[in-house]
């Protein structure tokens, strides 16, 4: 039975509740909900300048799907995910396992691995640009190569992926470490009496037990990889001829919307990115049944 | 005999663990060391390749002076600090209130309103940027501190995160306060809010680091060099000194310094804070 009349106390509680959620809800409606609706609408419009729009139907989308630069940006974004997420997660899990061993200076190592997390991408990419510099960079000197790491279209994506992995490894490792610490020690003890080696232990105990955490970290990492912008923007400026080989969807969005001023087209790119994120999320949640272990 | 070989393999494992960790730590720390070393070099030293000059021949502070004269660093520090301060205050205040209401109070439309919070969290922030920018521009508030704070006035993630914290506090504590004559507001800010210290600290750190790193919004909304943040200011420096690496390194160091110092002082809070907010 649903109560129609609230008691005075319940009514007072309700009024306080509305008062307390009001700033958040008003803020979300003004700052997020309404802008979301507007972006969907302007993706069907031509921007006439100064925030004025004219409805043009599917023009932006047709233009987008016929544009080679757009498809290249989509592919670059997917490639960036493929290059950074699996390798990054593998290395982060390795670091987490090493940090989970009985070692000294654990805190010190943790501090060092986590350090890139508190440095703005704008600042750390600056030194990577120097390290990767084709003429003066230390990387080429170290390996005796002459590779234009951030000017050669064949290498620029790999260079950005390396910086991304380096930046996130400590953060992911800390999250995975928390997952590893929840695995009961007795599981390993019982297993090693049975004569299982460390590699077998990894696949029979560690990986299944840590898989729920790994899944969460993977989703988070994928989401941020699809939205990558700042790192690539700082590594590869617009005037760099290699920019088309590494430009992500959000980089293209920034250039279209705020450099070229074509906000209708920019909106269409964002909507496309949201659809891509949705698709990846669905694939992940379907795929997780095959490898994520929630029984334990 | 068997015991002995077990012992040896254990020692080998420990040694390997240290070798990998030290190798990893060197790779992680090298860019920072290289940044510091380069910031004191002359351009000739930083560009020397045969052989590479590792240590600067003197501590040349000129690079820092040049970075400070080409970028209004005092303004950048102040703008960044003010943006972080207001975003943190808004996030903590509004998210605490809403988080408490969603966790502990009964009201009509609760699920629908919480749905708005979840929708915001699942959409990428870029989808809001163009309309948000147009609003700021229409109000004539581009190139202000308000513009920098604007998208961060409410934090859907903060609401979600603090709601979970409040749900973890036993109902009886609130009820006891209520029976003692506190109204809902007093129960919230005198009794419940003080119990959420750890989560509020985590949200503060999360909000601060996120705002500090953010690049697209400050670049879009504040084009006046004096109103930029450290991040967007550095992006400008990149174009200005494309090959003068010592000055670029000095500028980057100056931009990184405040957050790194805070991190080294509050390591535990930073790592735990970001780890708890990260597993969202």
Q: Which of A113, A268, A228, A28 is nearest to B263 (CA)?
A: A113
A173 phi and psi, to 5 degrees? -60, -40
Using a CB-CB cut-off of 8 Å, the residues of chain B touching A269 are: none
Distant-in-sequence, close-in-space partners of A143: CB < 8 Å, separation ≥ 6: none
Domain residue spans of chain A: 70-291
CB atoms within 10 A of CB A236: 25
- Partner A contacted by B248 (CB < 8 A): yes
Phi, psi of A47 (to 5 degrees): -85, 120
Q: Do A166 and B137 touch (CB under 8 A)?
A: no
| DSSP structure class, residue B50 | T
Q: Which of A48-52, A177-181, B136-140, B212-216 has the lowest mean pLDDT?
A: A48-52
Per-residue model confidence (pLDDT) at position B2: 52
Contact predicate A242/A156, CB 8 Å: yes
* Domain match, B193 and B96 both: yes
CA dihedral of residues B208, A270, B276, A282 (deg, nearest 10): 180
Q: In chain B, which residue's Cα lies nearest the Cα of A10?
A: B106
Same domain, B43 and B16: yes
Within-domain flag for B128: yes
CA-CA distance, A122 to B213, in Å (whole number)? 7
| A107–B249 CB contact, under 8 Å | no
Average pLDDT over every residue of A73-100: 95
- Could you tell me the CATH number of the domain that includes residue B120? 1.10.3720.10
Q: Are B274 and B206 in contact (CB under 8 A)?
A: yes
Residues of B in contact with A13 (CB under 8 A): 105-107, 184
CB-CB under 8 Å, B105 with A17: yes
List residues bridging with A47 in a β-sheet.
A53
* Element of type H or E holding B222: none
pLDDT tens digits for range A91-116: 999 999 999 988 888 889 999 999 99
Q: Which of residues 13-42 of B touch A (CB under 8 A)?
A: 13-14, 17-18, 20-21, 24-25, 27-29, 31-32, 34-35, 38
Q: Are B236 and B71 in contact (CB under 8 A)?
A: yes
Would the CB atoms of B28 and A116 count as touching at under 8 Å?
yes
Residues 6+ apart with CB under 8 A from B69: none
Contact residues on chain B for A165, CB-CB shorter than 8 A: none
Q: Find the CB nearest A126 among B49, B154, B249.
A: B249
Please return the burial class of A124, using the count of CB atoms within 10 Å of its CB with bins 0-12, 13-18 and 19+: buried
- Residue B265 inside a domain? The answer is no
What's the pLDDT at A1? 44
Nearest by CB to A263, which of B113, B130, B138? B130
Higher pLDDT residue, A243 or B12? A243
Average pLDDT, consecutive stretches of 10 residues, N- to C-terminus, chain B (280 residues): 67 88 95 95 84 84 92 95 97 96 93 93 91 94 96 94 93 84 86 92 93 94 95 88 88 94 92 73
Spell out which residues of chain B touch residue A107, defining contact as CB-CB under 8 Å.
Answer: 267
What superfamily in CATH does domain A70-291 come from? Answer: MetI-like (1.10.3720.10)
- For chains A and B, count residue pairs whose Cβ atoms are closer than 8 Å: 285
Q: What is the pLDDT of residue B181?
A: 82
Phi first, then psi: give them for residue B187, nearest 5 degrees. -55, -45
The answer to whether A84 and A227 are in contact (CB under 8 A) is no
Q: Are residues B207 and B95 in the same domain?
A: yes
A27 vs A251: CA distance, rounded Å: 27
Do both B163 and B24 map to the same domain? no
Assess whether B34 and B170 both reside in one domain: no
Q: B256 lies in a domain?
A: no
Angle at B152 between CA B148 and CA B158, to 5 degrees: 155
Query: Per residue in A123-155, pLDDT tens?
Result: 999 999 999 998 888 999 888 888 999 999 999
Q: Which of residues 166-205 of B touch A (CB under 8 A)?
A: 183-185, 188
Task: Tell if the CB–CB gap between A36 and B129 is shorter than 8 Å.
Answer: no
Residue A8: how many CB atoms within 10 A of its CB? Answer: 8
Whether residue B175 sits in one domain with residue B122: yes
Answer whether residue B204 is part of any domain. yes
**Interface mutation vs chain A, best among B10, B13, B18, B31, most A CBs within 10 Å:** B31
Domain count, chain B: 2
B78 and B207 together in one domain: yes
Average pLDDT in the A216-234 region? 92
Q: Which two tokens stand for residue A190?
A: 């019982």
Gap between the Cα atoms of A251 and B215, Å rounded: 12
Is residue B255 in some structural domain? no
The model's confidence at residue A295, banded by pLDDT at 50, 70 and 90, is: low
Instruction: Classify A104 as helix, strand or coil.
Output: coil
| Of B202, B263, B256, residue with least CA distance to B234 | B256
The upper half-sphere exposure of residue A181, i.e. CA atoms within 13 Å in the direction of its Cβ, equals 10
Same domain, B184 and B164: yes
Q: Which domain holds residue B11?
A: 2-60
- Note whether B43 contacts A: Cβ–Cβ < 8 A: no
Q: From the list B94, B129, B183, which residue is nearest A27 (CB)?
A: B94
B84 and B199 share one domain: yes
pLDDT of residue B3: 61
How many Å lie between the alpha carbon of A102 and the closest alpha carbon of chain B? Answer: 8
- The verdict on a CB contact (< 8 Å) between B132 and A135 is no
pLDDT tens per residue, range A184-214: 888 777 777 777 677 888 888 888 889 989 9
Residues B96 and B196 in one domain: yes
- Report yes or no on B14 lying in a domain: yes
> Can you tell me the ipTM of this complex?
0.90
Mind telling me how many Å the CA of A13 is from chain B's nearest CA? 7
CA distance A104 to B86: 40
CA distance A286 to chain B (A): 18
- Mean pLDDT calculated for residue range A64-77: 96
Asked if B180 and B218 sit in the same domain, the reply is: yes
B18: which chain A residues are within 8 Å (Cβ-Cβ)? 103
Q: Please write the tens of the pLDDT for every residue from A116-127.
A: 999 999 999 999
**Phi/psi of residue A119, nearest 5 degrees:** -105, 130
**Residues B51, B79 within the same domain:** no
């Amino acid at each position: 039975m649903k109560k129609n009349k609230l008691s005075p106390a319940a009514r007072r509680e309700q009024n306080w509740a509305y008062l307390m959620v009001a700033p958040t809800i008003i803020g979300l409606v003004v700052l997020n909900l309404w802008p979301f609706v507007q972006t969907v609408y302007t993706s069907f419009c031509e921007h006439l300048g100064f925030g004025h729009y004219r409805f043009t139907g599917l023009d932006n989308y047709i233009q987008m799907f016929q544009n080679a630069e757009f498809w290249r940006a989509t592919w670059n974004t997917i490639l960036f995910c493929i290059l950074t997420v699996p390798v990054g997660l593998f290395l982060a899990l390795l670091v987490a396992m090493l940090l989970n061993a009985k070692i000294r200076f654990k805190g010190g190592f943790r501090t060092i691995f986590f350090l890139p997390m508190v440095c703005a991408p704008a600042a750390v990419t600056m030194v990577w640009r120097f390290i990767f510099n084709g003429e003066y960079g230390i990387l080429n000197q170290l390996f005796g190569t002459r590779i234009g790491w951030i000017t050669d279209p064949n290498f620029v994506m790999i260079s950005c992926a390396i910086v991304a992995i380096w930046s996130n490894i400590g953060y992911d490792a800390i999250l995975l470490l928390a997952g590893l610490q929840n695995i009961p020690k007795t599981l390993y003890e019982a297993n090693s009496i049975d004569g299982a080696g460390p590699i077998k232990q990894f696949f029979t105990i560690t990986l299944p037990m840590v898989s729920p955490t790994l899944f969460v970290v993977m989703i988070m990492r994928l989401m941020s990889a699809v939205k990558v912008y700042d790192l690539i923007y700082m590594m590869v400026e617009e005037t760099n001829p290699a920019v088309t080989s590494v430009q992500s969807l959000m980089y293209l969005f920034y250039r279209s919307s705020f450099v070229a001023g074509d906000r209708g087209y920019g909106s269409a790119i964002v909507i496309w990115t949201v659809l891509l994120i949705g698709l990846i999320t669905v694939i992940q949640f379907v795929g997780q049944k095959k490898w994520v272990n929630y029984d334990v | 005999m068997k015991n002995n070989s077990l012992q040896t393999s254990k020692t080998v494992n420990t040694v390997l663990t240290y070798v990998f960790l030290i190798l990893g730590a060197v790779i992680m720390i090298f860019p920072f060391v290289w940044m510091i070393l380069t910031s004191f070099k002359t351009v000739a030293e930083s560009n020397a390749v045969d052989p590479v000059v590792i240590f600067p021949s003197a501590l040349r502070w000129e690079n820092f002076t040049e970075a400070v004269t080409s970028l209004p660093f005092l303004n950048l520090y102040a703008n960044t600090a003010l943006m972080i301060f207001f975003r943190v205050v808004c996030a903590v205040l509004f998210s605490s209130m809403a988080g408490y209401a969603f966790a502990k109070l009964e009201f009509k439309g609760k699920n629908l309103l919480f749905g708005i919070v979840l929708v915001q969290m699942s959409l990428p922030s870029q989808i809001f940027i163009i309309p948000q920018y147009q609003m700021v521009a229409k109000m004539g508030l581009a190139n202000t501190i308000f513009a920098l704070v604007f998208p961060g006035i409410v934090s859907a993630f903060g609401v979600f995160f603090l709601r979970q914290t409040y749900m973890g506090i036993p109902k009886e504590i609130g009820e006891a306060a209520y029976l003692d004559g506190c109204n809902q507001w007093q129960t919230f800010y005198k009794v419940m809010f003080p119990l959420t210290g750890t989560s509020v600290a985590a949200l503060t750190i999360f909000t601060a680091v996120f705002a500090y790193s953010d690049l697209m919004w400050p670049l879009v909304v504040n084009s006046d060099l004096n109103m930029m943040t450290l991040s967007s200011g550095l992006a400008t420096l990149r174009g200005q000194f494309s090959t003068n690496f010592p000055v670029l390194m000095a500028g980057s160091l100056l931009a990184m310094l405040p957050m790194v110092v805070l991190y080294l002082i509050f390591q535990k809070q930073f790592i735990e804070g970001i780890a708890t907010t990260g597993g969202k």
